[in-house]
Amino acid sequence: MDGGTPSQSQTPVNEEEPNGIVMVILVGPPGSGKSTFCEAVITASKRPWVRVCQDTINNGKTGTKVQSLEAAADALIKGKSVFIDRCNLAKEQRTDFMKLCSSHTDIHAVVLDLPAKVCISRCVNRTGHEGNLQGGQAAAVVNKMLQNKEAPNMNEGFSRITFCQNDKDVKEAIKTYSDLGPSDKLSSGEFGQKSKKESVQPSIMTFFKKSAREDNRQKEKEGNNSSGNVSGNEFPTLAFPSISTSDFQFDLDKASDIILELAQDFLKRVDNVRLALVDLSNKSRILSLVREKAVKKGIDSSRFITFVGDITQLYSKGGLRCTVIANAANWRLRPGGGGVNAAIFKAAGEVLEVATKERAGTLNPGNAVAVPLPSTSPLYQREGVTHVIHVLGPNMNPQRPNYLENDYTKGCKILRDTYSSLFESFASVACLERNKKQKLVESKEKTSGESKNNEKREEVKQRNWGSWALALHNTAKDPEKHKDGLLEISDNLIVLNDLYPKAKKHVLVLSRLNGLDCLEDAKREHLPMLRSMHSAGVKWVNKFLSEDPSLYFRLGYHSVPSMRQLHLHVISQDFDSPSLKNKKHWNSFTTAFFRDSVDVMDEIEEHGSAKLTDEKLLEMELRCHRCKSAHPNIPKLKSHIVKCRASFPPHLLQNNRLLSASNNDILEQIS
């Protein structure tokens, strides 16, 4: 490390270099002064700077890392230097921003390594913070971040790293960057002294507890709501009542455990969404239980909140913007009764009843049905609610239908299924809404001539699809034009017969998400869509098996599809079809080129993407999919498989890869 004085080591030097652009990645926890640093430099500097702050990137609201990356790329394209105002405490948080820079762009890190107690004190005492990170909860966030920080080093690709341990160091660094002219460059190396990893002292932990107590007292004064920022505009938010604990008399303690278990799991798997448990009364026992247990579990209070208010007036009366609300419905899915169900149907108007009938006639315990709310609904116009998700939980009240006779083993399973169905339905809706917004943004960018900048901004691997390969893509974009040939249409998927079926029963479940062209594109954020597609496929398998119980089915994707728009094949294993004509057809469904849906979902959940196999598998010799005997051509192979009664390969008999009438119980659970 360079031990020179700041005045020697931080003097700007002019070099013969065609590009004077610099990206400065600020590294430090909340309260370390990153935003103040940026503002001080930008105000005093003659160099054009752009501050990229995730707390304000979404029209003044908290945004995403993707939005931050796009803003940084745009600034670099326009020849401006950039401050990355995020915590950036881990190497992986910094890497994506560094990849945006060309070989002529200098990449610096300024590490605001101030004492933990200073950062915590600033966070707890500040008000009006852009990202709403303030008060006692902020102290715990800072502590957690500091325990996992990774100091930047030159091996990451930085040309210069400056460490600041106190206010004097920070002021000198501000002056250094403020004095940079448009074409000046700073010398390379590490400057300042690294501090050792700091442990939070017991006195600070006492400070945490005191601040948290003060925070909780303030929340009680504000109406007992657990959200410091209730606007909810930054993420899609689901507001839901406690299911089955009122009229259905489910045990509150057991219900609160299940709510938190399912919510915590859901929020780990699905990013950029928020859940709000709602009740009318400040004295609600279920809200109190959930709130207390959520704190003990360490659930992120910015993504899971409890809220006191009328679920039909959350925005107009409470300032909580929820695009989706859940309804504790009756099995007939009709208005009436009392409580939440009556209130939601009344607030939404008759259009909700009509829209619900188009989706489903009845509802079984443990299930959910998402209903798009027409824009003419008062609930849509006044509260901004786009969807109502009807759910039906377990009943412990002997005066109501489907009484479980106090069987809490069965009741807890049904309640888990209910919340799981609710949250997955919400994830699908949120994914669909984000897709619509993205289309709107792309349309605006195209109109304003900014699409060229987008192409430069990010390197995207483009597939060259022929016009014939766009048929499914066009159907997904505008299903009304192809309605006659479709079996099922919903907001997020379409089911249709394969135009050239390779078996007696061969249908496609087609995603309607923009940008999800093939299996290679599917990531964790798409898991709700993949699960919806799988469930739709299983539903059609059930239908086909009711018509012909002798059939066997697989659900899966081609590793490299021939047609654009992600689609799931639901195909019977008889392969009795005149459209199955060649080796490529056969091997695309009977080799590892065909990826079973259950494996795809497991791999994406665990690793973030699915394994893809090589197209060379399509050239393998023809082998029976059951006994694995080899055959010289398709006619002889077809003649053989009609007679073959060998068992299916062992791996297909595991993990529900092969579906048949013999595992009908499993099929009912899946669907």
Q: What is the pLDDT of residue 506?
A: 96
543: closest CA among 394, 383, 379, 671?
671
Joined together, the tokens standing for residue 615 give 């197209």
* Mean predicted confidence (pLDDT) in 59-75: 87
pLDDT digits (tens, 9 = 90+) for 341-381: 999 999 999 999 999 988 888 888 998 888 999 989 999 99
Which of 122-136, 469-483, 569-583 is the most confident on average?
Answer: 569-583
Residue 54 reports pLDDT greater than 60: yes
For residue 144, CA distances in Å to 139, 141, 532 come to 9, 5, 36
Q: What pLDDT is attached to residue 272?
A: 80
The pLDDT score that the predictor gives to residue 448 is: 54
C-alpha span between 247 and 443 (Å, rounded):
48
pLDDT for the residue numbered 31? 86
Please provide the DSSP assignment of 225-283 as one string: -S-S-----SS-EEEEEPSSSSTT---HHHHHHHHHHHHHHHHHHS-S-EEEEEES-TT
More confident residue, 426 or 109: 109
What percentage of the chain has pLDDT greater than the value 70? Answer: 82
Q: Is the pLDDT of residue 444 over 80?
A: no
253 is written with which tokens?
């303690």
Q: Is 50 exceeded by the pLDDT of residue 294?
A: yes
For residue 247, report the phi and psi dihedrals to the nearest 5 degrees.
Answer: -65, -30
**In this predicted model, what pLDDT tens digit does every residue of 305-342 receive, in sequence order?**
999 999 999 988 888 889 999 999 988 898 977 789 99
- Better-predicted residue by pLDDT, 253 or 104: 253
pLDDT value of residue 126: 61
Predicted confidence (pLDDT) per residue in 160-210, tens digit:
999 999 989 999 999 999 999 888 889 999 998 776 654 444 444 444 445
Give the Å distances, CA to CA, from 101 to 19, 21, 348, 455, 461. Answer: 11, 9, 50, 15, 19
Where residue 333 falls (left for φ over 0; alpha for ψ -120 to 50; beta otherwise) is: left
pLDDT of residue 59: 80
Whether residue 443 has pLDDT greater than 70: no
- For 305, the enclosing helix (H) or strand (E) is strand 304-308
Look-up: residue for tokens 């049904």? 414
Instruction: Look at residue 10 and tell me whether its pLDDT is greater than 50.
Output: no
DSSP percent split of the chain into helix, strand, coil, nearest 5 = 45, 15, 40
C-alpha separations of 505 from 543, 574, 598 in Å: 11, 9, 20
- Residue 471 pLDDT > 90: no
Q: What is the pLDDT of residues 641-650, one digit of tens each?
A: 999 999 999 9
Say how far apart CA 11 and CA 200 lie, in whole Å: 36
Catalytic residue chosen out of the listed positions 567, 607, 631, 651: 567
Q: Name the strands in the sheet holding 106-112, side by side, starting at the edge strand that comes first in the sequence.
A: 49-53, 81-85, 22-27, 106-112, 160-164, 189-191
pTM of the model: 0.44
Residue 664 binned pLDDT confidence (cut-offs 50, 70, 90): low
CA angle 487-642-630, nearest 5°? Answer: 110
Q: Would you state the pLDDT for residue 120?
A: 79
Closest CA to 88 of 29, 129, 36: 29
Task: Determine phi and psi for 105, rounding to 5 degrees.
Answer: -100, 125
Catalytic residue check, 640: no
pLDDT exceeding 90 applies to what percent of the chain? 47
What are the phi and psi torsion angles at 577 (to 5°)? -160, 140
Residues 6+ apart with CB under 8 A from 35: 51, 53, 85, 130
On whether the CB atoms of residues 30 and 123 are closer than 8 A, the answer is yes
